[in-house]
């Protein structure tokens, strides 16, 4: 081998090339080694993946012989690797696209698995990789879920409550049969929005509000609402709804339950009705109803109770002690009642109490009380029915008064009969007395005539008394009839004036009369005799009653009525006596203090007459100024004429009666005349007193009085009182009592009289007695 | 005259995959009118020893005893083409 420069150069070049190739090779080798290393790593990684896989993995060849099995597969099949490798597992044909199932035989048990097949290369050969996953547990979950669903469904199907589920808009997607029963909807109607149409229109907005509130607050809603059925009936339900949320917390709907509470609602309504019913009963009861607790504090008062106690509605009984409303006198009584109730006395008790109104005025009430018990039978209060019995009490009082009055009337009647005998005896005394005197010899004709006059007067008076008694019995019998007489009022006034002027003159009293009409206007139709009697009664009374001054009478026309009047200047009559004096027998009420001579029937008869003539009778009386009696009757003219003359008046003044000298206390003129006559032969000075007061005054005046002849029954002050007063002033005074009553002797002697003489007088006996005392 | 087929299908009672396998197999057989089949169905629950003998690891498993070579197929046999191929009833491809 010849080395030339060129050859060398070529060699160098070849060496370089070789060197480069060596480098390349080295690099390649390194890279290859690297690749081998990478492969090894990769395979190891793959192996680790297979080994660690949770699924069982088998690799089989095309004949189904097992080439590889991982630990998970060993566990799954329950056999070790050496019982797999080389065994025929089988060629997997079924699984290609979808997951398939196999049942693996694990000793005596079977285990369902899901398996998946992929084609792989194993040791450079075609092979199949089977992934096997145990789905038993999964199946079990599914089964459990299914069981649970069945259970849930069974539960809801047979639940006694209606169950529903809705979406967020309230569109129902599930209801159970009970829901349909309650709502009376079929399941098609109940699903969707239909159920809301069945809810009572008045309750829909409420329900909507409740649900929204529940959704906001996250709590369950509770509503009571109604289903309005197509037949118009109503079912009350209470509904609970719970908002449903997905995992992110968004509201996805509601689930809830409804319960039929119609019966309960009906019961509540009935209770309300029943309560209203009983409240009405309580309110319309005429009795007040009050309840209190066991300590006696008021817990309720009915409207009527407020009325009875006059408790203002804005005030209240509630909480006040019941004692506040009872007169203190009755506190013990009600406390005893409470004690009885606490100790178990359950009987209702009714008793009368004095109660206090709001203004503390007292009234009578009947309280019925019984205990209030709770549901266990324990007494926890008192029910009181309060009846105002003021009216009944008043009626009872009135009845007692009426009875007393009747008894009093009876007494008065007895007194009247007693008095009548006196009234008859007094004129009888004059008649018998002067009749006897007429028999005396040597009487002048004048004296005889005066005796006869007295006898006539006394007879007339006796007749009057008897007439009065007959009139009273007519009134009692109700057989009074009005007559229609045509009279002239002015003529009547004149007649009356003439009739009474003498008596008035004797007493020194002025008598006047006034006529209110003139001419034809005074011609009226009326019952003449009754009118005369009324006026005569009033005039007689006025004359008897008046000791000095004047008596006026007359009439006026007032509002189509004739108003008659008789005024006097006698003593006044207290207001409370104004009505009484028209009562029969009133004048004789106080046995001896006789106001008027007469039967005591005059005013009573007058009143009856006035009322019969459709008029009124009354009097006015000022203390110290005497009295005026008025009465009215309808004005009925005989001839109607329309001119009215001014009233005329007549006046007659009479002389004073001479005062004689001697003390004879005697109100009756005739008796006085008789006494004067009897005493005339004894030549004594006679001073007369017409009543007890005058007698006392005369005794006190300093006039020397040797003997007093005292009548017992006199007006203003009776004889007994006068005797006592006179003896108080002049203890030595000798007094002879003279009276018409039969039983007065004893009383006269007790009063301090020296003697007693009974009417009518027997002349000789009287003269003898006078002589003895004088 | 083609060789008679002896097939053994290992199943588990009323298991769904087993029933499907049996149904599929019967369908296949019914279509192969030219071939005589001898099919034995074995319930591994009733005859675990037979499964054990045949080294059955999972069901459904179909074993072709004859004609040789013996083949063992697992699955519900729903891939008809593959089944036919595995049983050498048609050539692959």
| Percent of chain A whose pLDDT exceeds 90 | 7
Chain B contact for A92, CB < 8 A?
yes
To the nearest whole number, what is the mean pLDDT of chain A? 82
Chain B contacts in chain A segment 328-357 (CB below 8 A): none
What's residue A535's pLDDT? 92
On the question of pLDDT at A520 being above 60, the answer is yes
CB neighbour list of residue A492: distance below 8 Å, 6 or more residues apart: A528, A531, A532, A535
> Which domains are assigned to chain B?
5-86 (3.40.30.10)
| Percent of chain A whose pLDDT exceeds 70 | 92
Q: Which of A22-31, A71-80, A568-577, A638-647 has the lowest mean pLDDT?
A: A638-647
Q: What share of chain B is helix, strand, coil (3-state, %, to 5)?
A: 30, 30, 40
A563 — pLDDT class (breaks 50, 70, 90): very high
What's residue A585's pLDDT? 57
C-alpha to C-alpha distance for A269 and A272, rounded to whole angstroms: 5
Q: What is the CATH number of domain A664-773?
A: 3.40.50.2300
C-alpha to C-alpha distance for B12 and B6, rounded to whole angstroms: 20
What's residue A600's pLDDT? 64
Chain B contact for A89, CB < 8 A?
yes
A597 — pLDDT class (breaks 50, 70, 90): low
What's residue A610's pLDDT? 92
Decide if A285-388 and A480-652 have a common fold. no
* B86 → closest Cβ in A91, A105, A108: A91
On the question of pLDDT at A660 being above 50, the answer is no
Q: What is the CATH number of domain A480-652?
A: 3.30.565.10
Q: What ipTM was assigned to the predicted interfaces of this complex? A: 0.85
pLDDT digits (tens, 9 = 90+) for A214-264: 778 777 888 889 999 888 898 999 888 888 888 888 888 888 899 999 898
Instruction: Kindly write down the DSSP assignment for every residue of A291-330, as one continuous string.
Output: EEETTSBEEEE-HHHHHHTT--TTS--TTSBGGGGB-GGG
A316 is written with which tokens?
Answer: 């209240």
What's residue A554's pLDDT? 94
What's residue A639's pLDDT? 67
pLDDT digits (tens, 9 = 90+) for A380-409: 888 899 998 988 889 998 999 999 888 887
Please answer yes or no on whether B58 and A90 come within 8 Å at the CB atom.
yes
C-alpha to C-alpha distance for A678 and A760, rounded to whole angstroms: 13
| Residue with the larger pLDDT of the pair A414 and A640 | A414
- Domain segments of chain A as ranges: 8-135, 140-267, 285-388, 480-652, 664-773
A638 three-class SS: coil
C-alpha to C-alpha distance for A215 and A456, rounded to whole angstroms: 124
C-alpha to C-alpha distance for B59 and B62, rounded to whole angstroms: 8
C-alpha to C-alpha distance for A208 and A198, rounded to whole angstroms: 14
- The answer to whether A665 and A643 have CB atoms below 8 angstroms apart is no
pLDDT digits (tens, 9 = 90+) for A276-299: 888 888 888 889 999 998 888 988
Chain B residues touching residue A77 (CB < 8 angstroms): 57
* A88 → closest Cβ in B44, B62, B72: B72
On the question of pLDDT at A640 being above 60, the answer is no
CATH architecture observed for domain A285-388: 2-Layer Sandwich (3.30)
Chain B contact for A684, CB < 8 A?
no
- Using the Cα atoms of residue A571, residue A577, residue A578 and residue A584 in order, give the sign of their dihedral: negative
A578 — pLDDT class (breaks 50, 70, 90): confident
Chain B contact for A69, CB < 8 A?
no
C-alpha to C-alpha distance for A206 and A222, rounded to whole angstroms: 11
C-alpha to C-alpha distance for A729 and A699, rounded to whole angstroms: 8
What's residue A642's pLDDT? 46
Please answer yes or no on whether A96 and B73 come within 8 Å at the CB atom.
no
On the question of pLDDT at A657 being above 80, the answer is no
What's residue A411's pLDDT? 80
Please answer yes or no on whether A90 and B15 come within 8 Å at the CB atom.
no
On the question of pLDDT at A629 being above 90, the answer is yes
- The answer to whether A187 and A180 have CB atoms below 8 angstroms apart is yes
On the question of pLDDT at A559 being above 80, the answer is yes
Chain B residues touching residue A106 (CB < 8 angstroms): none
A739 is written with which tokens?
Answer: 């009276």
C-alpha to C-alpha distance for B22 and B19, rounded to whole angstroms: 5
Owner of token pair 């509630």: A318
Q: Which CATH topology does A140-267 take?
A: Beta-Lactamase (3.30.450)
- The answer to whether A544 and A715 have CB atoms below 8 angstroms apart is yes
CATH of A8-135, one of 3.30.450.20, 3.40.50.2020, 3.90.76.10, 3.40.50.1980: 3.30.450.20
Average pLDDT over residues A335-363: 85
pLDDT digits (tens, 9 = 90+) for B72-89: 888 888 888 888 888 888
Q: What is the dihedral of CA A569, A575, A581, A586, to 10 degrees?
A: -120
A741 — pLDDT class (breaks 50, 70, 90): low
A755 — pLDDT class (breaks 50, 70, 90): confident
What's residue A662's pLDDT? 65
> How far does CA A234 lie from the centroid of its chain?
40
A729 — pLDDT class (breaks 50, 70, 90): confident
Chain A contact for B56, CB < 8 A?
yes
User: Among A95, A94, A97, A85, which residue's Cα sits nearest to residue A58?
Assistant: A85
C-alpha to C-alpha distance for A554 and A122, rounded to whole angstroms: 165
User: Among A574, A589, A580, A578, which residue's Cα sits nearest to residue A408?
Assistant: A589
What's residue A551's pLDDT? 92
Chain B contact for A104, CB < 8 A?
yes
A320 — pLDDT class (breaks 50, 70, 90): confident
């Amino acid at each position: 081998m010849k080395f030339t420069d060129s050859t060398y150069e070529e060699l160098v070049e070849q060496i370089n090339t070789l060197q480069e190739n060596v480098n390349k090779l080295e690099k390649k080798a390194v890279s290859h080694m690297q690749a081998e290393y990478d492969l090894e790593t990769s395979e190891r990684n793959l192996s680790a993946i297979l080994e660690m896989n949770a699924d069982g993995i088998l690799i089989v060849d095309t004949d189904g012989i097992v080439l590889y099995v991982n630990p998970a597969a060993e566990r799954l099949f329950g056999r070790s690797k050496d019982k797999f490798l080389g065994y025929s597992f089988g060629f997997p044909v079924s699984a290609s696209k979808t997951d398939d199932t196999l049942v693996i035989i694990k000793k005596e048990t079977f285990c369902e698995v899901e398996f998946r097949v992929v084609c792989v290369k194993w040791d450079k050969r075609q092979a199949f990789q089977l992934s096997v996953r145990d789905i038993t547990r999964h199946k079990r979950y599914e089964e459990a879920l299914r069981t649970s669903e069945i259970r849930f469904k069974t539960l809801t199907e047979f639940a006694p409550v209606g169950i529903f589920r809705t979406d967020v808009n309230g569109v129902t997607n599930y209801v159970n049969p009970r829901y349909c029963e309650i709502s009376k909807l079929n399941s098609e109607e109940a699903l969707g929005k239909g159920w809301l149409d069945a809810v009572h229109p008045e309750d829909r907005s409420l329900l909507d509000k409740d649900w929204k509130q529940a959704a906001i607050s996250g709590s369950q809603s509770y509503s009571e609402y109604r289903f309005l059925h197509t037949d118009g009936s109503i079912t009350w339900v209470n509904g609970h709804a719970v908002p449903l949320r997905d995992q992110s917390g968004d509201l996805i709907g509601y689930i809830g339950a409804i319960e039929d509470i119609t019966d309960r609602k009906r019961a509540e309504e009935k209770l309300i009705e029943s309560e209203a019913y009983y409240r009405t009963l309580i309110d319309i009861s005429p009795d007040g109803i009050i309840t209190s607790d066991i300590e006696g504090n008021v817990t309720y008062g009915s409207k009527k109770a407020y009325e009875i106690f006059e408790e203002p509605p804005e005030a209240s009984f509630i909480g006040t002690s019941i004692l506040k409303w009872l007169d203190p006198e009755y506190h013990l009584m009600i406390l005893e009642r409470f004690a009885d109730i606490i100790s178990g006395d359950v009987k209702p008790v009714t008793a009368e109490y004095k109660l206090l109104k709001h203004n503390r005025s007292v009234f009578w009430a009947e309280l019925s009380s019984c205990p209030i018990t709770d549901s266990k039978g324990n007494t926890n209060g008192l029910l009181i029915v309060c009846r105002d019995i003021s009216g009944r009490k008043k009626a009872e009082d009135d009845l007692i008064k009426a009875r007393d009055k009747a008894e009093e009337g009876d007494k008065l009647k007895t007194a009247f009969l007693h008095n009548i005998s006196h009234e008859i005896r007094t004129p009888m005394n004059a008649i018998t007395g002067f009749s006897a005197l007429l028999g005396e010899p040597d009487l002048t004709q004048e004296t005889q005539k005066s005796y006869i006059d007295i006898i006539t007067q006394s007879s007339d008076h006796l007749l009057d008394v008897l007439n009065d008694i007959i009139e009273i019995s007519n009134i009692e019998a109700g057989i009074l009839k009005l007559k229609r007489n045509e009279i002239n009022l002015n003529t009547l006034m004149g007649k009356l004036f003439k009739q009474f002027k003498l008596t008035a003159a004797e007493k020194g009293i002025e008598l006047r009369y006034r006529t209110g009409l003139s001419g034809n206007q005074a011609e009226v139709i009326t019952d003449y005799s009754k009118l005369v009697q009324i006026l005569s009664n009033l005039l007689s009374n006025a004359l008897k009653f008046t000791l000095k001054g004047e008596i006026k009478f007359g009439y006026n026309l007032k509002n189509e009525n004739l108003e008659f009047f008789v005024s006097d200047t006698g003593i006044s009559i207290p207001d409370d006596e104004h009505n009484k004096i028209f009562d029969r027998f009133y004048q004789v009420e106080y046995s001896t203090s006789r106001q008027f001579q007469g039967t005591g029937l005059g005013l009573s008869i007058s009143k009856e007459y006035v009322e019969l003539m459709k008029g009124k009778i009354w009097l006015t009386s000022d203390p110290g100024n005497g009295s005026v009696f008025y009465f009215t009757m309808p004005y009925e003219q005989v001839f109607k004429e329309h001119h009215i003359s001014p009233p005329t008046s007549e006046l007659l003044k009479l002389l004073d009666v001479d005062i004689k000298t001697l003390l004879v206390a005697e109100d009756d003129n005739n008796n006085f005349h008789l006494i004067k006559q009897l005493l005339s032969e004894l030549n004594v000075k006679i001073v007369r007193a017409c009543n007890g007061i005058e007698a006392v005054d005369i005794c006190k005046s300093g006039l020397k009085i040797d003997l007093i002849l005292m009548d017992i029954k006199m007006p203003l002050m009776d004889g007994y009182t006068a005797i006592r007063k006179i003896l108080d002033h002049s203890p030595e005074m000798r007094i002879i009592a003279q009276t018409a009553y039969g039983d007065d002797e004893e009383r006269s002697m007790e009063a301090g009289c020296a003697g007693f003489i009974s009417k009518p007088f027997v002349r000789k006996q009287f003269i003898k007695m006078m002589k003895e005392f004088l | 005259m083609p060789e008679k087929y002896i097939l053994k299908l290992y199943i588990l009672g009323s298991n769904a995959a087993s029933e499907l396998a049996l149904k599929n197999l019967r369908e296949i057989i019914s279509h192969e009118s030219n071939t005589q089949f001898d099919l034995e169905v074995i319930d591994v629950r009733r005859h675990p020893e037979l499964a054990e003998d045949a080294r059955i690891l999972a069901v459904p498993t179909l074993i072709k005893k004859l004609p040789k070579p013996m083949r063992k197929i697992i699955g519900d046999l729903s891939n008809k083409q593959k089944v036919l191929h595995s049983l050498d009833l048609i050539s692959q491809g």
